[in-house]
Chain A
Amino acid sequence: MSFSALDENWLSPSQRAQIDSWPDPVYNFAENPISEDGFQLGRKLFYDPMLSRDQTISCANCHLQYTGFTHVDHAVSHGIEGRKGTRNSPALINLAWNSSFHWDGGVNHLDVQAINPIEHFAEMDNTLENVLNYVNGNPEYRSAFFHAFGDSMATSKTLLKAFSQFTTSLVSSDSKYDQYIRGEVGFTEQEKNGLRLFDNFCNRCHTAPLFNSNRYASNGLPIDTMYNDVGRYAITKQGSDSLQFRIPTLRNIEHTYPYMHDGRFRKLREVVKHYAEELDRSNPYLSEELKSEMKLSENEQKDLIAFLCTLTDRTFLYNRRYSFPN
């Protein structure tokens, strides 16, 4: 990875060393140079419930750090006044490497993502204008915006870039898997076998080291009858995009349940069973990568899960820099 292209204040020296061999991030830091003040401002905003219309819900309500910044136990997200969304809140991990956001990739740039939860009826149901009025009327924020962006008066641009200062910094690169690859720890036989199976069947879509792909695919889930979510098709209106969803990261997957865009699976066991036993290969939407036979014995399914658990990164989940600011 070329660090010269990166902003020098992005991540700690140890995190930078850990991602040294990773691909370059997609996020253009030249347009939003990270600073400690900017990061702290983004963090403050992320944890501030005053951003929602009834002042009850912050970003962190649906994106909790200890569960990889997802909404643990909620199949679909819950916003203000208990309003229910239609999709599972995704993990916020290594977002700087993503070229699109949301399950259908409808959001094309991280800097415009936060408009969606702020204005979404079933999330914070507020307006960008109200949020700007709030931060611009608050002396603490005025000072924070001044330190971060040289102007105490927040604009849509500085407000949204502040969120990205925080969210691009949510980097997970110190899981047992990473330590194994760096030669710092060993894998058990079971984990090694799981890695081999993963390389054979999963890595073509959930590609290491990010364990995602900036592509859309169908992993063969039947359409959910409750929401009839057609995925990418809603964005492009192209038949070939029907039931295609973004290929999500599997980092910290042990903790980000429930799984899939509608949270239909509660356990990794169910996910692996879906791939190993329940895939309908005649499903016309099923992606090419899954069309060949995938035979996994019960033991192999367990091995695969043991491997998936090596993607848990406690340094990330418990990093104090990412938690509620005080």
Chain B
Amino acid sequence: MLDSKIPEGTLADKWDNYKEHVKLVNPANRKKLDVIVVGTGLAGASCAASLGELGYNVKSFCFQDSPRRAHSVAAQGGVNAAKNYKNDGDSVFRMFSDTIKGGDFRSREANVYRLAECSANLIDQAVAQGVPFAREYGGYLNNRSFGGVQVSRTFYARGQTGQQLLLGAYQALMRQVGANKVKTYTRHEMLDLVVVDGKAKGIITRDLVTGEIERHAANAVVLASGGYGKVYYLSTLAMGCNSSAIWRAHKKGAYMSGVSWIQFHPTCLPQSGEHQSKLTLMSESLRNDGRIWVPKKAHDDRKPNDIPEEERDYYLERRYPTFGNLAPRDISSRAAKERVDAGCGVGVMKNAVFLDFSKAIKEQGKEKIKEKYSNLFKMYDKINAVNAYETPMLISPAAHFTMGGLWVDYELMTTIPGLFALGEANFADHGANRLGANSLLQASVDGYFIAPYSIPNYLAGELKAEKITTDHVAFAEAEHAVKEQLQQFLNINGHLSADHFHKTLGKLLYDGCGLSRTKASLEKAIVLIRQLRAQFYTELKITGDHTVNSELEKAGRVADYLDLGILMCEDALSREESCGAHFREEYQTADGEALRNDKDFCYVSAWEWKGAHAEHELHKEPLIFENVSLTVRSYK
């Protein structure tokens, strides 16, 4: 039975109750306890820095050449907090209920409430670190609104909020490195989790420069390795983003949840050809001032500025008059797909819609728009050689954020004792759809405010436990398995690159398990991915050696993505309803909205790995709502 360990008390009391009753570790004992943190994004850097400050012995890992480059750096739009600085009716409870509703009632009440509760504190923390958030002329912090809500609770630092928050966390981490509390291992990739007597006791890594396979032992292991949206190949994620850390932990016993809940971001730059390696995100904040439209007529090839007002279809304003262009992401993305499928798409591949600023520029002036979004307009120009102050941008949906991830309880501990998952790597707070600007928050709150309580609560019990060292046989076995797999990749000597398999997998997933899914599309995708996986193990080709070898790195990541892709389809297949980002075409209302089924599917899926040749086993954590009523999520 899955125990989410929700504390006693009313919703508002739970987190305080928890904190008041956690076990503490005497400061003198802390340096005897080792913690491994995989990942230096907002979740990992904040966790490693905070545990270092407390006096634990921390090892921090990332695959990039510096911790500052984790993909949190790419977040543009902002970070939410229920400060109610605008006096517009915001509160912890409202943020909680917006997030629960935004997630289409598929997340845990207690977790979401805690996220809202800790949000105000994060802004304080970031400002103290020197994060230069936008300010009003009077010197007060500025806010803007983001998709899916009607209050202004989003804090931002121009279009580089993620970068600035991450640099704050990175600097806090560097401070602990300078003080010898944290040791960093850059250009290191975690390739296995070591479990001893059912508890997480360490990891196996590969040094991406020397190629050395290393053993690292610890009293607790934290995975803050980010999202796996790159499974679709074309996505807003960085090239190195991977599922390997969580997938290998999954194979060692950690359950995976909500695996098929993937958010497709509505405002990305469309694919323009086969060579493409990523889809760049244009911040959703643009939807505050940009209007989305397509020509009313299908296959209309006129230039956007030549299409008169009455021949334009502002389809979000038409379908969702209350929220209009600020409708939540899943709804906006699906509405775009609906228009593109109807033949009204624009751009070279007819896969895009317009995002138009002419009205905002007319009303507010170009200077004001420049001040808000200049870096985004510049980026657009760099990539497309188009001036978006004059012609509308072309945008289309792209795989972006994974609500799914490792199952965790209230303490952010996985089903393996001593293994914690933070940030995008866990499934916890966003349900079936994440609200914009909530995930920088979640990653930070997990690392700064939750882990420093819940990890010591576990570590307190470790003081008397037998110390496991890297000489333990479990380390030898894990190391051996990692080495064998790498050798296997090098030995195949086929004729197709790792990228070939990754791109093919991505296409299969976009078609079968993308913005909308059907039983047939999912079943077909499973068959095709299985075939692709078999081909991978016979026809992969890697050149180069055991040391610096980006192809060898890719092969390991693609191998895990192939397994994960199948589980994504199975997860989507088992959920015979539409909720949030998971849209099963069989389950929709007459006007094409998602049809949730609370009677049969008000649970979180938790998949257990049963071995390479067996089916996964599905466990269910029922969701209980005591503070909000399950309504139909409507943004009309």
A-B complex is real: no
Chain A residues at the B interface, C-beta cutoff of 8 Å = none
